[in-house]
């Protein structure tokens, strides 16, 4: 059996401002932006540069119940984990782009990590896993 997680839904306030942040500040690729008239919404998918794995579906909040979770989808915990092949290159670029880091870079047993906020306040890990880490071997 082969299965994979293809999308992670991220609730956003506005499609265009979210696309701007992810494509301009994080340099993600806009994979798809399709209007779905029957539901009056857009199907917006972005992916990290060079990634062939899981993508992020930017899902605009369509109900007041959903709006309260914008920027806090996991109750203040780190929500998403952006792995890189060059931590310091990406960290410096993100700082230059004005990305707010709430935990400075730190060497951990599994690799290098720092925590940043996206445009709505969701917490992300920027990390570079050690080469001998099981996850690092899976993403090569």
CA pseudo-torsion sign 101, 104, 105, 109: negative
> Each residue of 95-110: pLDDT tens digit?
999 999 999 999 999 9
pLDDT tens, position by position, 2-57: 999 999 999 999 999 999 999 999 999 999 999 999 999 999 999 999 998 899 99
Domain's final residue, options 17, 52, 70: 70
What are the tens digits of pLDDT across the range 109-137?
Answer: 999 999 999 999 999 999 999 988 777 65
DSSP label of 48: -
Q: Bin 69: left if φ > 0, else alpha if -120 < ψ < 50, else beta.
A: alpha
Regarding whether 5 and 64 lie in a shared domain, the answer is yes
Are 57 and 75 within one domain? no
Per the structure, the complete domain to which residue 94 belongs is given by: 71-140
How many domains would you assign to the chain?
A: 2
Position 135 scores a pLDDT of 74
CATH number, domain containing residue 82: 3.10.180.10
With 60 as the cut, is the pLDDT of residue 140 above it?
A: no
């Amino acid at each position: 059996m082969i299965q994979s997680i293809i999308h992670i839904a991220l609730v956003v306030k506005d499609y265009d401002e979210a696309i701007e942040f992810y494509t301009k500040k994080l340099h993600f690729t806009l994979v798809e932006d399709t209007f779905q008239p029957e539901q009056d919404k857009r199907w917006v998918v972005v992916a990290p540069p060079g990634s062939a794995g899981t993508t992020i579906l930017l899902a605009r909040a369509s109900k007041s119940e959903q709006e309260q979770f914008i920027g806090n989808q996991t109750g203040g915990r780190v929500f998403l984990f952006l792995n890189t092949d060059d931590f310091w290159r990406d960290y410096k670029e993100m700082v230059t782009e004005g990305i707010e880091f709430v935990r400075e870079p730190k060497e951990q047993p599994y690799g290098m990590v720092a925590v940043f906020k996206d445009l709505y306040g969701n917490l992300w890990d920027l990390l570079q896993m050690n080469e001998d880490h099981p996850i690092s071997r899976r993403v090569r």
